[in-house]
Structure 1
Amino acid sequence: MLTLTPEEISQFRTQLADSPEALAALDAIEECEGNLEAATQLIAVETTDAEVSLRGDSNFLEKLAEKLSNIICQEEFDELMTGVLTTAIASLATSGNIPVALATSVVIYVAKIGKKQFCETAKPEP
């Protein structure tokens, strides 16, 4: 289980202050006491019905990230993951055709474990 500290949530709030959808995702993470997995499931229930098959799965966030790994693991995405993450979130939301709030959780997840490590272990779906 990946958990964000109140300090990390606060740092992300500062970075993502210009994105209401990203801030809503951070509200959900805060509501779930920093539990990124639980918050992502909550966000999925509130924002989409496209990922119904993954809901309730204890590895929902990991599976969602793996589904999007073909986008995340592109070299161009490296640049987006440095500095302020709003561009990475917007790019993933657009390219992956998912709500910004869900993209926020995925980008935070990848940032927290490290993009390089994520891409070395991700098993993208065909």
Structure 2
Amino acid sequence: MQFKSLLIITVLCTGCSFSNSPQSNVRGQANNADILEGRLSILTGGRGAGSLTGKDGKCHDLALPASVLSNVKDWDGYTVIVHGESIARPSVDGALHYKILDRQVEAGGCGDETFYVREIEKK
């Protein structure tokens, strides 16, 4: 019985990686494609963190492209439209950041999902 439980846990966690080291690689599952609009906020330092606050006041964590993070002054505070998909992320105590597809994202934030930005435009 103990062997079956161990086997099930091992199979379920294949590909999982949780740690608080700089190389943390926590991956979520993509669950839908979407378009969001709202005011962009970018926090500099670390790996960079972004969020978008919609007209309804709802906050969305963002996985921003490097081109936006390297030009914070051109984007921070503007109303933008972003295209991409929401990706669920696990809550891992002590994690400093996690990886969503090809981007490192700061831990914390305002929601249980991170919106992976494929395209961004100012409104």
Q: Scaled by the length of structure 2, what TM-score is found?
A: 0.30
Select the structure with the greater relative contact order (CA < 8 A; seq sep ≥ 6): 2
Q: Which has the higher strand share?
A: 2
